[in-house]
Amino acid sequence: MKESRANIIKSEALKLGFSHVGISKAGFLEEEAPRLEQWLSQNRHGKMSYMENWFDKRLDPRLLVDGAKSVISLLLNYYPQEFQNPSLPKISKYAYGRDYHFVIKEKLKALMQIIQTKIGDVHGRAFVDSAPVLDRAWAKKSGLGWIGKNGNLIHPKSGSFFFIAELIVDLDLDEDAPIRDYCGTCTRCMDACPTEAIVAPMVVDGSKCISYFTIELKESIPKSYESKMDGWAFGCDVCQDVCPWNKFSKPHQEEKFKPIKELMNLSKDDWKEITEDVFKEIAKESPLLRPGLEKIKNTIQFTLHNGGKPA
């Protein structure tokens, strides 16, 4: 019976557009506990003080969902069909289209309703990168890939350009087995990182990461990184772009992730001249709203200082 329930959930998730689905038993993440503690104690989270909160809940989903028995991990592909002109202030591929939080929450809500209709009285919560859940750890545990040296989950047939989400439910399901790590001796991501943020295999110093500088950091980017920003205005894809496993990436089929052309085609001068009202209108459903226009303008001015161009 457990197996048929798991198959129903996986089948319905794929129908909703998710790329891959895996299931693991809800419990304490023993391997992750010391790693997270060390990462925080070494201040790898920089100014992201929220990472210090809810330490126990990050490691045990049973503290987030009463009676939790299973973690259903889901991947949604965002690899684009067309790419931004690299001479423009660069935007990370995941932010080309509509904010993934909205897109995935709609799918998770639909999946939960289907589970309740087809299986019965099931309770749980949906998570999309907005609560203390270690999503990559759960995806790894459920056999959806391994954690690469760049800290991203890598699927052996699809690469790493995925969003990760979870349904944590009070339903006992057959779990999937983890797979081995296939990175081998490759260090391309570590070698290519413009700011040397990947300080050891699977250890990313968030306080040195371009994505952190362009999105999370509220204050000015340290002057010492002025020549290392590689032309990025929002996020960074370097460690994924150089990963050999991403040769298996295939363009997504999600209509809502199609590029917002008005944002994709903005030059440095366009960004300098755009008003707050215009920005809010064209970016109303974009992840770029998170840092805001002023932050992006300051980043571009810093990144392309004195007419400099992306590497």
Terminal Cα distance for the chain, rounded: 55
Nearest in space to 23 (alpha carbons), one of 172, 180, 181: 172
- CB-based contact 170:67 (threshold 8 Å): yes
- Residue for token pair 């689905």: 21
Helix axes 2-15, 100-118, angle to 10 degrees: 140
Q: 71: which strand partners?
A: 24, 168
User: What backbone phi and psi angles, to 5 degrees, belong to 273?
Assistant: -95, -20
Show which residues are catalytic: 129
- CB-based contact 200:189 (threshold 8 Å): no
Give CA–CA dist 311/296, Å, rounded.
19
